[in-house]
Structure 1
Amino acid sequence: MQSTITTHQQGYRYGLRQPGNILTFFTRSISNNVDLETIDDWLATKLEVTIEPRPSYVYKVNDAEAEKVGALMWRVLLLGRYLQQIAGIPVFDPGLILDVRKDDKDPSQWQSRIVVPMLDGIPFKGIDHTYSSALKLIMLLQKQGHPSGAPITIYNVIQKKILPPLRSMITAGISTIPILRAAYRCQIPFRHIGSGIYQLGWGSKSRLMDRSSVDSDSVIGVKLTTNKILAASLLRAAGLPAPEHIPVNSREQAVLAADTLGWPLVVKPADKERGEGVTVSITNKEKLSTAYKNAASFSKQILVEREVPGICYRLLIANSKMLYAIRRGPRSVEGDGKHTVSELVDSANRRNKAKPSWLQEKHCPLDKQALEAMSLEGFSPDSVPDKGVRVPLRKIESTAWGGYIEDVGEHVHPDNREIAERAARLFELCNAGVDIISSDITQPWHDNGAIINEVNYAPYFGGNDIARSLIPVYLEKLMNGDGRIPIEIVVGSDKAVEEGRSRQESFIRRNVDCYLTSHNLTVTPSGEHLTFPFESLFNRATALLKNKSAEALVLVVQTDEFLKTGLPIDHFDRLIHVDNDIINWNDSNRKINSDVRQELLKLLQFFAQKINKS
């Protein structure tokens, strides 16, 4: 069994909605009794792989054995996509099977050619590693017949051998996959710039995104949010309710701060996030000393803060307006009216442990923190909570320990919504997670002493059903639609340039700033020639897709370059075929033959919405 990358393609091919590479696989030993239903069930239940029907276009076979190989290769594509996603690589198009046939040199081998999506910046060895690994796993499953007893072994292979190389190739944030998955479903094109930064959309409609942060977020605002002292000071100066705290650098200073602020208290690092080093409900000097030690293990900058009674609510501000609001409860177990808290915790941990490590939550023991948290609510490990009653295992929700959420968007008082949106604008953040501590979010902050506890840059967006359901709404407003600009392609010789200029002028007459480019000529909306350091239609078009002044593009195809590179776009609005005088990209003195020309036109037609022949 081996795989070889046979073609490097920088662009879009075969109708894929993400750039693609062609891989060739050779396989043997296909079982006569392949149970696809069992394999699919295993992939879906054990790994949570989405099983989609295989598309009927491009790949067709009449041979029963070839069909069997093709069916397994389709599972390879689905598993390869899944492996990349859990590694943080936003690949959503499953790819295509181009052909399946007996190897000419060795009839005992099956040769499968597949086109798989790639992400800019991911080395080819990463693509090969992904799908070679997926092939090995699928072949293992089909040989075992009934793979129900193999999950731990396969989990370990994925966790220890497959994922580490992939994760080393990408910078991934926890919001990246949910947001880009929604963008893909909303037909919004995106490309990886590098370091986890993506361009969504084209030209004048393009935006840059890093996790949930966008290009309009203020760098200064971001700097302020990472320092709790500065952030609270700015909030207070702007007339917004903020925490009262005192910076300290010793236990003795912490005691003095307690004398000033009074009990109960919160101790936290001034420059950390995700709930790291935070202790709440401190009511005496002994607990204060322990809390200080905990915070000091994370940072040298420590805050002693007056505790505000209430619950933490996250108001997600997107495009400067509240998109949703959730109540953030601590890690807990839910009662069923039959089992003790201890039994519920054990059951939850067993279910969690049975999952692959990348789907697991942190194991939550019945430790001192859990006992204190449940005691405050009147529970013990031997309590039998009623059905639906939650028993807290931590005092607060945190990234470290997790928690549960409840949708409260319809219940947020308008005044509370207003201060959250004001806070985001104050820090000049398009997107922000504003945490309000309130005893009742339905009541205005000025009636119950609620505060803005934190303003968070690049908030986690997409980690729950509420957020995921609203990402398309957020993206539609952010991108002003699907982020696409009109693009037309004209094919032919010098006459195609003339037709292209005519199409460009028609856009300009409609007050649309349209650029025209061929492989060696680029014309701005004002008629000036734009100089590039390369003679390549792919590279020039790619550059113009990043140009914020480009409101439309006309691409003039005069060579067969796209057969080598693929297209720089996954869709265009009109194809105009002027004539057949198309030259060879590598030899400008030679025209391409009719077979190559038809191959080029077929490639273009994959992505064309409207085809015209001039």
Structure 2
Amino acid sequence: MSYHIERCQPPHAGFHPQWHQPWQQLRLRSGPLPAGVDWPQLDAWLQACFALPASMPAAAPGSDAASQVAAWGERVLTLAAQLLRFARVPVFSSGELQLLTPLTDGWQLALRVPWVPGVEEEHFLRCYQAAAIVLAGYAANPGHFGDRQALQRQLEASVIGPICRAMATDDGSFALLQAAHQASVPWQWLGDGAYRLGWGARRGHLQHGGVDGEAMSGIQVSAHKAVTRRWLQQAGLPVAPQQLVRGEAEAQAAWQALGGVVAVKPAASEGDGVSLNVASADALRAAHARAAACSPEVVLEPMLPGDCYHVQIVAGRALFVIRRQGAALLADGEHDIAHCLAQENARRAASVLWQRLPPLPDDAEATACLAAQGWHWHSVPAAGSVLYLRRLADNRHGAWEQDASADAHPDNLALAEQAASRLGLLQAGVDILSPDIRQPWHANGAVVLEVNHAPQLGPGTLYRRHLPAMVQALWPQQARIALEVLVGDQPLPALRQRQAELAAQGVAAFICTVDGSWGPQGDAWPQTCGDVFTRVQALLAEVAPGALLVGLSDDAWLQHGVPVDRISRLHALQPEAPRWQPLLQLLRQYLPAEECAA
């Protein structure tokens, strides 16, 4: 079978009222679909291979060819949207099949799908083409798709990986953006992994985990453990004794000066290359080599008692606390540890590539960790026993996480907030080493280990449970300002009256009509963009507006679409005039449900 996908008209810059995104029209041409598709089997495979919904609308057995192709087309839409999300292209709706046309050699499908202005057309077309090929191939011969991991690796290499690198959006930012979209926060992709969220006076930006108002110096300092420690120490905050070394000879001297057992860490790294309980010259030599492979500078710290607690700072306040320990395995009470590990790693390997957790280790370090807990690989611990395979959480093997938000003493939360503030960060993860997080830091010798700028929001982490709260803290009230639309001839006088009413309430309202734009004092607001559509979007990107009043005296939005996903209020100067009915009918779709009912 052959497939051809193309954009059949320029993308629609206006927003779809249900998808909260602009949309585009695609045309997919395919050959005939194989007969007798087993839809339940296909859906089960899609769920296992791509984490799609367990069931989707299916054609009834014996239904006509058009119904079968329509069911296939719905799955193309769903799978393509998932592939785009795996590549971190923010497409949060599958779209819809609009028209199905039989051809002499197959079918033509008209698809309406979400569009992200600025993202290359090729990225979308590659994902829809791949989805069509995969689904038709499986429908024709399911046996050829038994190796799910091979298919995922192929898609990663040829489709998803290249798109993901072009988008430059990190995991944490994409997770936050998706949660913001689900919370109805308006957003716009700006390129290079950057997004604007919200409108006017409530709008903000997100890029690589960073948000508006953060000090660039603090972001840079947080990447270096020794410099971070110096900043915190100068602010009078508790930190661990530490020595910065360059080279093995300096490391040996620092080890002797610190005396006894130390931790060895790269000065600039994201969790890799760390060694704990280093107590001999040979162990120090190996630990230094491991750390130096990650950073030319290495720090040595004495081993202090306690566990690591990650306090997540959002909008300057401590939002939640995660106790992070080394990678661990749960015992099932029936099989030995080696069997449990093999089962868990097999489960992880069978999961979707783009949501997969790293395999748990079975090396000498894991053996030593088990021995320190009184276990060996053939032990059979009680069901639910936590078996640590690493002493410390790291990026390579993950972490064993527990939510400790309810246990953290208020003074420890305040300490984390102070540490983030010292670096000028509004969003940060502050690692506190504490013997007991329930006690204040000044009572038990707890210290700040490090400050990490970007939140850790990868798949499988407890942090993702807190995404809605993070969005609410960063972009409260959906980060929207009032956007009111007045339809009719000569709307400016009525808009100025409404502007005065809002000014009396302390709201700085801007005005936009076909004749121009005006600031809250009634002064002209010059803009280079000409039409109301683009000037509305430009004003919403400004930090000044507390509200936006739009006057429409023509029906241009009927042709070009609505430049926003929602309006807060709609009024017509001549509500019964026939010429305004199509525009009013369109705009009512963008009102909140309570306004529509009214």
TM-score (norm 1): 0.89
Which residue does the alignment assign to 1:589? none
Q: Which moved more, 1:154-163 or 1:122-131?
A: 154-163
> How big is each residue's C-alpha offset from its partner over 1:306-330, in whole Å with a ceiling of 9 and x where there is no partner?
1112221111122222211111121
**Superposed counterparts of 1:567-606, under 5 Å:** 567-578=562-573, 601-606=584-589
SS in 2 for 1:3: strand
- The offset of 1:571, in angstroms, is 0.6
Kindly provide the amino acid, as one letter, of the partner of residue 522 in structure 2. G
Which residue does the alignment assign to 2:273? 277
Which residue does the alignment assign to 2:60? none
Matched, 1:297 2:300: no
SS in 2 for 1:175: helix
Question: Separation in 1 of the partners of 2:337 and 2:55?
Answer: 40
Which residue does the alignment assign to 1:58? none
Q: Which moved more, 1:543-552 or 1:341-350?
A: 341-350
Question: Which of 255, 258, 262 does residue 261 from structure 1 map onto?
Answer: 258
Q: Which moved more, 1:230-239 or 1:287-296?
A: 230-239
Question: Separation in 2 of the partners of 1:95 and 1:229?
Answer: 50
SS in 2 for 1:233: helix
Which residue does the alignment assign to 1:4? 6
Kindly provide the amino acid, as one letter, of the partner of residue 92 in structure 1. F
Q: 1:168/1:271 Cα in 2 relative to 1: closer, same or farther (>3 Å)? A: closer
Matched, 1:345 2:347: no
Kindly provide the amino acid, as one letter, of the partner of residue 101 in structure 1. L
SS in 2 for 1:527: coil
Question: Separation in 1 of the partners of 2:125 and 2:198?
Answer: 28
Which residue does the alignment assign to 1:50? 53
Q: 1:492/1:138 Cα in 2 relative to 1: closer, same or farther (>3 Å)? A: farther
Kindly provide the amino acid, as one letter, of the partner of residue 68 in structure 2. K
Kindly provide the amino acid, as one letter, of the partner of residue 607 in structure 1. Y
- Identity among equivalent positions (%) equals 27
Q: Which moved more, 1:505-514 or 1:172-181?
A: 505-514
SS in 1 for 2:420: helix
Which residue does the alignment assign to 1:215? 212
Which residue does the alignment assign to 2:591? 608
Question: Separation in 2 of the partners of 1:368 and 1:465?
Answer: 26
Kindly provide the amino acid, as one letter, of the partner of residue 102 in structure 1. T
**Superposed counterparts of 1:534-573, under 5 Å:** 534-563=529-558, 565-573=560-568
CA contact (8 A) 1:317 1:432 kept: yes
CA contact (8 A) 1:244 1:305 kept: yes
- The offset of 1:385, in angstroms, is 2.4
Question: Separation in 1 of the partners of 2:109 and 2:570?
Answer: 32
Q: 1:466/1:300 Cα in 2 relative to 1: closer, same or farther (>3 Å)? A: closer
Question: Which of 32, 57, 74 does residue 29 from structure 1 map onto?
Answer: 32
CA contact (8 A) 1:327 1:408 kept: yes
SS in 2 for 1:168: helix
Question: Which of 41, 44, 50 does residue 41 from structure 1 map onto?
Answer: 44
Question: Which of 428, 432, 440 does residue 428 from structure 2 map onto?
Answer: 432
- The offset of 1:72, in angstroms, is 2.2
Q: Which moved more, 1:207-216 or 1:197-206?
A: 207-216
Q: 1:21/1:462 Cα in 2 relative to 1: closer, same or farther (>3 Å)? A: same
**Superposed counterparts of 1:334-483, under 5 Å:** 334-461=330-457, 463-464=459-460, 466-483=462-479
Unmatched tracts of structure 1, length 5 or more: 55-62, 583-592
SS in 2 for 1:394: coil
CA contact (8 A) 1:66 1:100 kept: no
Matched, 1:530 2:525: yes
Which residue does the alignment assign to 1:317? 313
Question: Separation in 2 of the partners of 1:527 and 1:310?
Answer: 61
**Superposed counterparts of 1:499-538, under 5 Å:** 499-538=494-533
Unmatched tracts of structure 2, length 5 or more: 58-62
CA contact (8 A) 1:486 1:551 kept: yes
- The offset of 1:147, in angstroms, is 7.9
- The offset of 1:465, in angstroms, is 6.3
Kindly provide the amino acid, as one letter, of the partner of residue 554 in structure 1. L
SS in 2 for 1:46: helix
Question: Separation in 1 of the partners of 2:521 and 2:54?
Answer: 51
Q: Which moved more, 1:223-232 or 1:123-132?
A: 223-232
Which residue does the alignment assign to 2:241? 244
Question: Separation in 1 of the partners of 2:258 and 2:200?
Answer: 54
SS in 2 for 1:411: coil
Question: Separation in 2 of the partners of 1:314 and 1:484?
Answer: 31
Matched, 1:168 2:156: no
Question: Separation in 2 of the partners of 1:93 and 1:346?
Answer: 37
- The offset of 1:598, in angstroms, is 6.8
SS in 2 for 1:305: strand
Which residue does the alignment assign to 1:586? none
CA contact (8 A) 1:519 1:540 kept: no
- The offset of 1:444, in angstroms, is 2.6
CA contact (8 A) 1:178 1:463 kept: no
SS in 1 for 2:376: coil
Question: Separation in 1 of the partners of 2:405 and 2:460?
Answer: 14
Matched, 1:95 2:91: no
Kindly provide the amino acid, as one letter, of the partner of residue 289 in structure 1. R
Which residue does the alignment assign to 2:112? 115
> How big is each residue's C-alpha offset from its partner over 1:239-258, in whole Å with a ceiling of 9 and x where there is no partner?
22102111111222212111
Kindly provide the amino acid, as one letter, of the partner of residue 43 in structure 1. L
SS in 1 for 2:161: helix
Which residue does the alignment assign to 1:80? 80
Question: Separation in 2 of the partners of 1:195 and 1:51?
Answer: 34
Kindly provide the amino acid, as one letter, of the partner of residue 72 in structure 2. L
Which residue does the alignment assign to 1:585? none
CA contact (8 A) 2:485 2:569 kept: yes
Which residue does the alignment assign to 1:59? none
- The offset of 1:408, in angstroms, is 1.3
